[in-house]
Structure formats: C-alpha cells, structure tokens
Structure 1
Amino acid sequence: MAPVLALVRRVPLVVLTLVVGAAALALVAVGLEPAARWGVSLYALAIAAVEAVRMIRGLLARRLGLDVLAVTAIVSTVAVGEYAASLIIVLMLTGGEALEVAAAGRAQRELRALLERVPQQAHRIDSTGGIVDIAADQVRVGDRLLVRPAELVPVDSALVSAAASIDESSLTGESMPVDKQAGDAVLSGSLNGAAAVEVVAMAVAADSQYQRIVELVREATASTAPLVRLADRYAVPFTAVSLAIAGVAWMLSGDPVRFAEVLVVATPCPLLIAAPVAFMGGMSSAAKRGIVMKSAASLEVLARARTVAFDKTGTLTAGHPAVVGVHPEPGVSADELLRLVGSAERYSSHVLAAALRDAAAGAGLLLADSDDAREEATFGVAATIDGRSVVVGKPAFVEQRATGVRRSAIERGRAVVYAGVDGVFAGTIELRDGVRPEAARTLAALRRAGLERTIMLTGDVEATARPIAEGLGIAEVHAECLPEDKVALVRWAQPRPVIMVGDGVNDAPVLAVADVGVAMGATGSTAASESADVVIMVDDLTRVAWAVVIGQRTVRIALQSIGLGIAVSIALMLVAAAGLLPAVAGALLQELVDLLAILGALRAVRAGRAPMPGLDGVEARGAGARPMRASEVLRP
C-alpha cells in the first residue's frame, strides 16, 4: 500500500488519468459507452481548462507558449467524439511532466550525491589525547582531529600523519586515490583510505571546500534552464505549421476529424521536456568535473561565448609568487627591510602579500602588529610598525609618501615591491610567479572551441605581465588595471558573450559584470566565488575549457532533441493529414516521441565524459593540478 501512496503523491494527475481510463473501460465493457464518453470528455476538458489558464497567463505576459497546441488538441478531439484520443493526450501531458521529473532526477544524480555526502561528525583529539565526538560544525580552526578508515574528512585540514591515501572523487572527479604527505591539504568531503590519520583543522565547516560546493549546488539546482524558454521560441512557428497542416487536411477532406487527428500528433511534449532534461544533465556532468554552475543559464552563454578575459596572478599563473631578491638601501639591512614589509603586508589582501609574509616568517623574522594599517586596493599599504612609518607597494604609491625612490629595472616576468620607511626610500623586494603548467593547453583548447579573442587583465605592471602573455600567445594585455578598469574593459569588449576568469577579491566586480564570470574557487577568494556564475572547485585551469565545451555539447544535445521532436511530429502530422493515422494510434505514437526526446536529452549527462583534443590524459585532475599545501589553504 505504501508504494501506491508514494506513487500517488509523486504523480497524482497521472494516477488520476489512469483511474479515469480504467473506469471508462469498465463502463464500455458493461455497455455504458455514452457514460464513458461523457466522463472522459469532462475530465479532458477540465485538464484543458487548467492548461488554458496557463496559456492565458502566458499570452498576458506576451509569450505564446506551446500549451496552445495542447489545449487545441484536447478540445478538438473531444469535439469530434475521439474521447479515447483526448484521454491519451491528457496522459501524455501529465505523464510527460512525470517523465521530465524522473529524467531530471537521473540527470541530477551527481548533484544529489554531493548534497548527501555532507560530513556530519568529527572526532576531536583533546589535550589528554582522548577522542571526543562532536558535530562537524563545532570544529574550530586549529583543532586536532582523527579521521578513521573510510570516513569523510569533516573540514578543510592539513595532514599531520606522515602519509595518507585520500579519495577525492566527489570533489575532483579523480577516480584513483591521491597520496598525501604531512603538511598537504586534505579537503572536506574527501574519503579517507584504509588507515586512520590525524589532521589539524584549517577552516570551520561553513568555510570548508565541500560546504562551499554544497551551497553552490543548491543555488544551481534552483535555477531555470534557458532552453526551457528557448522551446517557447519555437512555439509560434511550430503552432502555425501545425494548425496550417490541420486546417488544410480538414479543408481537403471535408472531415473535421482529420483536423483533430493532425493536432493529436502535434502536441509539444518533446519540446517541453527535452530542454530542461538536457540542461540538468549538463549541470550534472559539469559538477562531476568539479565545475559548479550556479545557474543553468550559464551553460547557454558559455556555448555562445566568443571572448575570454583572464586575470593573471592566481589564474594564468600559479598564484604563489616567491621572493627571489631583497635589495635594501644603505643603512637598512635586508632582514629589517623584509621584516617591516612583511609586517605591513599582514594587512593586505593582495596576492603578493602572502609571499612577502611567508618570506619574512621563513627567514625567522618576528612580524609586528599595527594599529593604523590601511590599504589602497592594488596600490599598496601604509602602516606604523614599531613606531616607524612604513609604506609598501607600487613605485607611484611609495613616491607619494617617501623621498629618494629609485625605480629599478624590472627583469621580465618578475614583480618588484617598493618600500619606504619614515618618509625615505628603503629598498625593493623582487618576486616571481610561475605560469600554470596547464595554461597553454587551456588557451589552445578554448581557441579550438571557437573563442576568437583572448585578453589578459592585470593590476601588475606591463614589464611583468607582457612576457607571461607572450609566452601563452596572448597578444592583448591591459596592465596596471584597477578593478574599475577591468569592469570597463569587459563591459565594452567585443565580440560577445564575454567570459571573465579570475580568483582574487579585486576580481569580484568584473566577474559580476561579465556575461559569464568564472572563479577559480579552489584557492581563490570567497568574494570572487560569490560574484561568479561558474566556480571551478579544483585547482586546475583546464576546467575553464571543459566548462565551455560542456556548455556547447549540452546546448547542441538540447537543440538536437528539440529538432528531432519537431521533425518526427511534423512527419506524423503529414501522415495523419493523409488520413493514415487514426487519432488513438497517433496519440500512442506521440508517447514514443516523448520517450525518444528524453533519451536524446539524457545524453547531456555524458557531456563532460567524451574526450577533448589537447586535454586527454588530464581527465580528472589535469597535468597542471597538484595537491595544495596547508599554507596555500590557510591564506590570510
């Protein structure tokens, strides 16, 4: 009994239609055919009235939907006495919705799997070495945790044990376990191997990688696919053609039944079902590769994109620059310059700040606090350190606050940070950031996918940005850009649509203004991820190319499914117009068309599995992807 009740709750109209059909058969069997005809006709007209309300609402909103044909088909079959055909049409409409739900459920399998794997519990190691079980959301940064065999890692952590084998398939799509060493990052939601390991929490549950994925997926599953609306673009021509064929068939035959027979096979279920199923499949396929689409609309825009703009640091480059030279002025030691600069950079969100702090800490220098530090985004930081006025940043920024600034020749591919102490130029520090190993392959794949224009937008100086761009084959470089400069450049860029790829806090505005903003969410800022339409949840730039290709394949599959449904429907209409397809047979054949459209649309579930030239062999993590160390996860 319980399964029957569950079925009724899931698809009540389908069950009711079947009950009406069974009752009509019973009435016909006992010789009460008129009662069966009236009962079925009234029920069909009631369903038509519900559809008509939707149709009128659409017309009032100046949108001609495909429900016009459905209502006309039901009314016409009832009018000519083909009540059995009208009941099959109703079953087709109600069953089509049920099939759509079932197919979407199949397409959302990976998305649901993410939601079901949220870590719930953690085993905290207390000061005495005892184990205390706590809820995952009670874990605090710095807590020592035990992860038992085959358990999920509750929060983003750093491995304390000497080694571990971790299954990251739910995060990266990598089917093989990943070997970790002490100090490596272990992401929440990954599955521990056969041995218990000890980790130290690097983030609370709400800020951990897996929880971020879950929240993004929840947003994505609530969105509406654009090709659901695209189906309505075919409404006017398809409706006009259908009515024209039906009208000509009636006129030539002189039989109104012929009009109803044509409209029976013109019902638009394939168009209504194919698009949403395909788009849910595409989103599911993208999620399997660690690409979370916040909105299904992003898939269509990605498929049409013609321009792509990249931030440099942390996007095209590894985002982890290292200090390669400290050049103090006379009277200032290298250690003192590095200590003061590192202290001031504690109050900066710039990507170079972490490298400067790490260099100072790595040299064993004690960093000091400041009560009046202030940052001017992309320019520099001014702070009072141990009673001394310190300014750090670009040369123009330091020149405004210190005398004697000497601009040094910048070696190609390096960045130089200038510093002033107590109003006097104190020296420079050189840094270098390497290009991501997978960057060239990603750009080549994007060009093959039809992207016509590639742009680099960066706050770095020309001398630092240009050699990196040239090495990657990017001819158009805009250096020393403020956030508002990036916004203006992307807003007016042609041809459109424009994809913007970035990872930093200062990329958030331009990600929001782009047609599709793509955030490198694995190591990028939360602000960038929140502003973006697409978030790459693994540290692998090739996923940008995969996102575009999945979008193209999904749209192609959706359009193919819609086109197939239209073609088969028109063919059946012509057969019916010739008087060779009775209404009941036509209605049954239309159910097969629905099934064909759904099966075609479900191919989008595999949109991210087919190989892509140039990226073969990097199906899961990518050749450029690598485990992130704890210091990279806990970036201030």
Structure 2
Amino acid sequence: MARGIRLVRRYPVVALTLAIGLVGIVLALAGAGWLVAWIFSVYALAVAAWQAVGMVRDILRGHWGLDILAVTAIVATVVVGEYVAALIVVLMLTGGEALEDYAGRRAKRELDALLTRAPQHAHRVVDDHFVDVPVDEVEPGDVLLVRPSEIVPVDGELRSAEASVDESSITGESVPVEKRAGDGLLSGSVNGLAAIEITATARAADSQYQQIVALVAEAAASKAPVVRLADRYAVPFTAFSLLLAGFAWWISGDPVRFAEVLVLATPCPLLIAAPVAFIGGMSRAARNGVIVKGGGVLEQLARARTAVFDKTGTLTHGSPELVAVRPEAGFDADELLGLVASAEQYSSHVLAESMIDAARERGIRLQEAAAAREAATNGVVARIGGREVVVGKFAFVAEHAPETRRTGIAPGELAVYVAVDGTYAGALLARDRLRGNAAATLARLDELGVRHTMMLTGDAQATADHIAAELGIERVRAECLPADKVQEVAGIADRPVIMVGDGVNDAPVLAAADVGIAMGARGATAASESASAVILVDDVSRTAKAVEIGRDTVRIALQSIWIGIAVSIALMLVATFGVIPATVGALLQEVVDLITILAALRAIGGRRDARAGADAAERQRTAASAR
C-alpha cells in the first residue's frame, strides 16, 4: 500500500490518466458513452496543450524535439473521434516518461548504493569508553572502534592484532582481505566478525569512500552526447512519420488513417533508449571499480583509437625492488644494505621503502640515527653508529666522497650510491617491476580497437625504451616535463586519445586528453580531479575494462534506438493500409516502449560481469589447488 502511494506521488499524471480510464470504463458500462468521449477528449487535449507549451519553448531555444509527434497524434485522434486511442497515447507519453525514470533508477542501483552507504557516525575512544560522534568530527590520530559488520568510517590504520574486511564496494575484490596491525584500512570497507580498533589517518572529507561518493555524484549528473545524437533523429523521424501519415490519408481518403499511422510514430524509443543505456553503463563501470564522470566519457572510450600511458606507477608498480648490492672498500653486502636501510628510514623517497623492506627480508637489524637530514630529490645524510652515511644520487654522494665512480647498470635499472665517512662504499641497484598484467592489458586494448600506444615518462630514455620494448609499445617520449606530455598528446592524430596516469604530475595531461584515466588515485589526488574517469584499484587492466564497457554501452544504446525505430516504422507501414485500428496501434506502441527499455537495460551487464567473475574465481581456485 505504502509503495503504491509513493508511486502515485512520483508519477501523478500517469495515475490521473489511469484513473480517468477507469472512470470511462464505469461510465461506458452505465451507458454514458457520450460522456466518456467528452471526458477522454478534453483530458487528452489538455495534456497535448501542456506538452505543446514545452515543445514551443524548446523550438524557440533552437531544439527540435520529438514531442511534436505525440502532440499531433493526440490532436488527430481526438479530431477523428478515436478518443480511446487519444487516451492511450496520453498514457504512452506520460507512462514512457515514468518508465524512463523507473528504468533509470534501476540502472543506477550501484551508483546509488555508494551514496546511501556513506558512513554517518563513528565510535571514538575517549578515556576508556566509546562516544558516538558524527563522522565529520573525526580527526587524524583519533582511536575508533569498528564493531562487527560495520562500515569503516574514515581511512585509518589497524590497531588490533588482525582483522578481516570486505573491500568489494571500494576495490571490486569479492574475497575478504586479511589485515594485520599497522595495515591501512579504507573507509567504506566492511569489518568482519570481530570488533577492531583503528587509528584515523584522515578526516572524513579526505577519506577514500567520501571521495568516491563525490565522484559518483558528479558522474550521475551528466548527459551523454549520444543522447543528444538521439535528439538529432527527431527532425527526419518526425518528417517521415508525418509524410507517411499524410500519404495514408491521401490514398485512403479517410482522415482516420492519418491518426492510425501517427499513434504508431510516437518518439519514446528515441527518448528512452540512450539515457537508460548510458546510466546502466555508468552503473556497470562503478561495479567494476571505475568511476566514469559522465555518459559522454563512455562514448569517447567506445571510439578511442590511441592509448597513452605514464610509466612509473601505471605500467610499472612504482615501487622499485632491490636487485643487487655492490659493496666497495671492504664492506660486505649485508653491512652495506643495513647502513643504507637505516639511513633511508629518514627519507621520503620512493626507494627508501624498498631498501628497508629488502633489509628486513634478509633479517638485518636497522639502527637508529643520532642525526639525519634529507636533501630533497638528491639523497639523505645520517650519522649511524658514529659514522656518517651518505645515500643518494651519484653527484650527491660524489660531493662527500670524490673517488665515487659510476657502476654499470642494465636497461630499466637505477643505482643508489653510498659513502661512509667520506669513502665510497658501493652501490645498490633497483628495478621498478612491470605489472604482471600490463602486456595483457595492451593486447586487450588492441582487440577493442585501440590500435596505437605511446608511453610518456620523466625517466631516462634507456629505461623508457627497455619498458616499451618489453610491452611492444609503438612510441616513447622520455625525460618529459608535464608540459611536454600535454604537447605530445595534443599532437596525436588518431583520436580520441586515452591518457592513463597516476601522479600529480599527470594531472595536466589527463585534463588535456580526450579521456583522462587516473589509475589507483583513490579519488583524492589532483590526477583524479583532472581525469574523466578514476580507477579505484591499483590495476591497469581496468583501463581495458573501461573501454569494453564504453563499447558495449554505445552499441546497446544505438541498438535500442534502432530497434524502437524499426519496429515503429514497420507498424506504421502496416497501419498505412488500414490494418491496425488507432486504439490497437496505441497499445502496440506501449509494447515498443517496453521492448526499447528492456533492450537498453542490457547495458547494466550484470550477467556478463557475473560470468567474468565466476571465471576469475575458478582461475584463482585452480591456482590455489596447484600450489
């Protein structure tokens, strides 16, 4: 009952039309058919006038829409006395809008789910008890309790010994993730069966889930260019329909035939198909961990011909691993690595974590520094165990140890030099590993029609060439500044161009590309703000998935439009010869609308993604059993 009342309030004109129809049936059974004709005709003309006002306003703004067909069909059926058909056309017109709204709500389920699940409160630890506070009041450093099955309210670090969390709404990963003390937790993930404590590392507005919500809201408010393309069919479709209806009247000499053709020429397939399909495509993308900022982005993805990639953090992991230790001056490998890792504890460079992890894996105990300072982009100087340890670039270390000499490196490697008490102590070599699925992603893009690839990076030419050769990338531009990347993308002839990057320095080129994709940016960086789409997980293969979803969405949108047009035209041609009465034709057009909506809803892609997920799970189980 309550649901019925909500539907009446949401779609009052549809409810009124149905009510008038029921009243007409009662009056007809009571023998007052003449009154039914008047009620139906007056109501239909009133709706036609209401639609005509909006139609005229659109025409004055230069937009020729499809409402002229519906208005003409209503007036024509009333004039020739087909008042039942007139009411059905009114129901079709208003009901089509209601069906579009309902279908849109159905298609937006995954997008809306993100919005409605946003955490509202947090349990803050205060003097050995818990106080419920609005999530916006949580500050970094606050200790929070997360009860079983509750949503993690803000980004944080696990204080409890262990936890199992469901990150599927954030990363798309369906398997619960095991966490240990000190591991990071994303807001929006769902706690497992045991209560845990976390330390907040970000305010709510800066946390993962809330940033995703902001991107979703931006995406849901857009309109796709293909929808406007559907509007452009209005003039030829309207002209064809009116000419065919006029022809039917001319050959028959009966004005009723004009009305019989027009009731089958109503525009709902064009009005409904594209919006529903694109909302469904955006919903599918969100379910696969990609927030697309508008249906127009899906259309560009569908037509993309060139893909450009940043290297570090996109095609590679962005976290180099140690591959060799080359000690000098009497140092052994473990001693040198221990000194480097101890010094790197005081550095913010991306290599620091790699050195520290390598030392811990070898069981080397790290020492505290009596003093330490970092020279930005060059290296770090630390006093460890009474010795001065200098770690960093060749030129920086050579300033402290003049006899420092360069070591040989292979393509794709980089060297970290070390001096101890003014003496050159050796070098450590590291390599940024390629992502395991990078080559497969490029191959999949080629299958999807993205034939050309390019890599833009600030790294050295030799390193860039080595990575490009491994992946089969056509063009490479190394040692790029952000402005160089923008210039390169602007000069590409095969468009649309996709640019995939992950760092703040990629923000300008992401904005300049036809489609900028921020990979793993988690909604909070300048890259994600500039991008047209944001991949929420650290997985470059989602780039190909986004292109696949774009192609599927555009294909389904256009298929749905043409299915509706084809069926309508076929029925109109039949009606030209007087085979389909006006009332029956109006009912058949409702069937056309339903077919169009069902066709467009295929863009949600639930079954396709479910099959893909089942295949992936089976591969994981096979791999696990093999181990």
- For residue 320 of structure 2, what is the aligned residue in structure 1? 321
Per the TM alignment, residue 260 of structure 1 is displaced from its structure 2 partner at its CA by: 1.1
Q: Which amino acid aligns with 1:190?
A: S
SS, match of residue 459 in structure 1:
coil
Deviates more, 1:41-50 or 1:219-228: 41-50
Q: Does residue 62 of structure 1 match 2:62? A: yes
Q: Residues 335 and 83 of structure 1: is their aligned pair in 2 closer, same or farther, counting only changes over 3 Å?
A: same
Q: Residues 431 and 474 of structure 1: is their aligned pair in 2 closer, same or farther, counting only changes over 3 Å?
A: same
- Distance between the aligned counterparts of 1:207 and 1:55, measured in 2? 45
- For residue 210 of structure 1, what is the aligned residue in structure 2? 209
SS, match of residue 477 in structure 1:
strand
Whether the 8 Å CA contact 1:262–1:577 is kept in 2: the answer is: yes
Q: Residues 383 and 525 of structure 1: is their aligned pair in 2 closer, same or farther, counting only changes over 3 Å?
A: farther
- For residue 627 of structure 1, what is the aligned residue in structure 2? none
Give the percent of matched residue pairs that are identical in Structure 1 and Structure 2: 58
Per the TM alignment, residue 2 of structure 1 is displaced from its structure 2 partner at its CA by: 5.5
Per the TM alignment, residue 230 of structure 1 is displaced from its structure 2 partner at its CA by: 2.2
Whether the 8 Å CA contact 1:501–1:511 is kept in 2: the answer is: yes
Per the TM alignment, residue 129 of structure 1 is displaced from its structure 2 partner at its CA by: 4.2
- For residue 125 of structure 2, what is the aligned residue in structure 1? 125
- Distance between the aligned counterparts of 1:595 and 1:111, measured in 2? 24
- For residue 268 of structure 2, what is the aligned residue in structure 1? 269
- For residue 50 of structure 1, what is the aligned residue in structure 2? 50
Q: Does residue 196 of structure 1 match 2:195? A: yes
- For residue 578 of structure 1, what is the aligned residue in structure 2? 577
Q: Does residue 596 of structure 1 match 2:595? A: yes
Whether the 8 Å CA contact 1:289–1:608 is kept in 2: the answer is: no
Deviates more, 1:169-178 or 1:295-304: 169-178
- For residue 519 of structure 1, what is the aligned residue in structure 2? 518
Question: Within 5 Å, which residues of 2 pair with 1:262-411?
Answer: 262-322=261-321, 346=348, 364=367, 366=369, 368=372, 380=377, 409-411=408-410
Whether the 8 Å CA contact 2:340–2:391 is kept in 1: the answer is: no
Per the TM alignment, residue 181 of structure 1 is displaced from its structure 2 partner at its CA by: 3.0
Q: Which amino acid aligns with 2:231?
A: D
Whether the 8 Å CA contact 1:328–1:337 is kept in 2: the answer is: no
Q: Residues 405 and 454 of structure 1: is their aligned pair in 2 closer, same or farther, counting only changes over 3 Å?
A: farther
Q: Residues 176 and 403 of structure 1: is their aligned pair in 2 closer, same or farther, counting only changes over 3 Å?
A: closer
Q: Which amino acid aligns with 1:120?
A: Q
Q: Which amino acid aligns with 2:54?
A: R
Q: Residues 431 and 258 of structure 1: is their aligned pair in 2 closer, same or farther, counting only changes over 3 Å?
A: same
- Distance between the aligned counterparts of 1:251 and 1:610, measured in 2? 53
- For residue 441 of structure 1, what is the aligned residue in structure 2? 440
Per the TM alignment, residue 431 of structure 1 is displaced from its structure 2 partner at its CA by: 3.9
- For residue 145 of structure 2, what is the aligned residue in structure 1? 146
Q: Which amino acid aligns with 2:122?
A: A
- Distance between the aligned counterparts of 1:478 and 1:9, measured in 2? 59
- Distance between the aligned counterparts of 2:169 and 2:137, measured in 1? 23
Q: Which amino acid aligns with 1:114?
A: L
Q: Residues 279 and 185 of structure 1: is their aligned pair in 2 closer, same or farther, counting only changes over 3 Å?
A: same
Q: Which amino acid aligns with 2:238?
A: T
Q: Which runs of 5+ in 1 are unaligned?
A: 624-636
Q: String of CA shifts for 1:476-526, please: whole Å, max 9, x gaps.
A: 111111111111111221211111111100000111111111111356861
SS, match of residue 576 in structure 1:
helix
- Distance between the aligned counterparts of 1:515 and 1:608, measured in 2? 30
- Distance between the aligned counterparts of 2:286 and 2:580, measured in 1? 44
Per the TM alignment, residue 466 of structure 1 is displaced from its structure 2 partner at its CA by: 1.5
Q: Residues 398 and 499 of structure 1: is their aligned pair in 2 closer, same or farther, counting only changes over 3 Å?
A: farther
SS, match of residue 249 in structure 1:
helix
Q: Residues 112 and 334 of structure 1: is their aligned pair in 2 closer, same or farther, counting only changes over 3 Å?
A: closer
Whether the 8 Å CA contact 1:550–1:607 is kept in 2: the answer is: no
Paired residues in the alignment total 605
SS, match of residue 302 in structure 2:
helix
TM-score, normalised with respect to structure 2: 0.85
Q: String of CA shifts for 1:288-322, please: whole Å, max 9, x gaps.
A: 11111121211111111111111111111112224
Q: Residues 383 and 54 of structure 1: is their aligned pair in 2 closer, same or farther, counting only changes over 3 Å?
A: farther
- Distance between the aligned counterparts of 1:494 and 1:354, measured in 2? 41
Whether the 8 Å CA contact 1:170–1:190 is kept in 2: the answer is: yes
Question: Within 5 Å, which residues of 2 pair with 1:433-512?
Answer: 433-512=432-511
Q: Residues 439 and 518 of structure 1: is their aligned pair in 2 closer, same or farther, counting only changes over 3 Å?
A: same
Q: Which amino acid aligns with 1:588?
A: L
- For residue 167 of structure 1, what is the aligned residue in structure 2? 166
Q: Which amino acid aligns with 1:77?
A: T
Q: Residues 483 and 360 of structure 1: is their aligned pair in 2 closer, same or farther, counting only changes over 3 Å?
A: farther
Per the TM alignment, residue 241 of structure 1 is displaced from its structure 2 partner at its CA by: 2.1
Q: String of CA shifts for 1:322-379, please: whole Å, max 9, x gaps.
A: 466789999xx99999899986x65x8xx66876899999954657568xx8x8xxxx
SS, match of residue 187 in structure 2:
coil
- For residue 626 of structure 1, what is the aligned residue in structure 2? none
Per the TM alignment, residue 209 of structure 1 is displaced from its structure 2 partner at its CA by: 1.4
Q: String of CA shifts for 1:60-83, please: whole Å, max 9, x gaps.
A: 343322222222212222222222
Q: Residues 306 and 115 of structure 1: is their aligned pair in 2 closer, same or farther, counting only changes over 3 Å?
A: same
Q: Does residue 81 of structure 1 match 2:81? A: yes
- For residue 557 of structure 1, what is the aligned residue in structure 2? 556
Whether the 8 Å CA contact 2:188–2:209 is kept in 1: the answer is: yes
Q: Residues 186 and 609 of structure 1: is their aligned pair in 2 closer, same or farther, counting only changes over 3 Å?
A: farther
- For residue 333 of structure 2, what is the aligned residue in structure 1? none
Per the TM alignment, residue 417 of structure 1 is displaced from its structure 2 partner at its CA by: 6.9
Whether the 8 Å CA contact 2:245–2:262 is kept in 1: the answer is: yes
Question: RMSD value over aligned CA atoms?
Answer: 3.9
Whether the 8 Å CA contact 1:139–1:201 is kept in 2: the answer is: yes
Per the TM alignment, residue 42 of structure 1 is displaced from its structure 2 partner at its CA by: 3.1
- Distance between the aligned counterparts of 2:246 and 2:451, measured in 1? 47
Whether the 8 Å CA contact 1:148–1:196 is kept in 2: the answer is: yes
SS, match of residue 609 in structure 1:
helix
Per the TM alignment, residue 5 of structure 1 is displaced from its structure 2 partner at its CA by: 4.4
Q: Residues 450 and 285 of structure 1: is their aligned pair in 2 closer, same or farther, counting only changes over 3 Å?
A: same
Whether the 8 Å CA contact 2:74–2:89 is kept in 1: the answer is: yes
Q: Which amino acid aligns with 1:229?
A: R
- For residue 568 of structure 2, what is the aligned residue in structure 1? 569
Per the TM alignment, residue 111 of structure 1 is displaced from its structure 2 partner at its CA by: 1.3
- For residue 630 of structure 1, what is the aligned residue in structure 2? none
Q: Residues 177 and 519 of structure 1: is their aligned pair in 2 closer, same or farther, counting only changes over 3 Å?
A: same
- Distance between the aligned counterparts of 1:478 and 1:213, measured in 2? 32
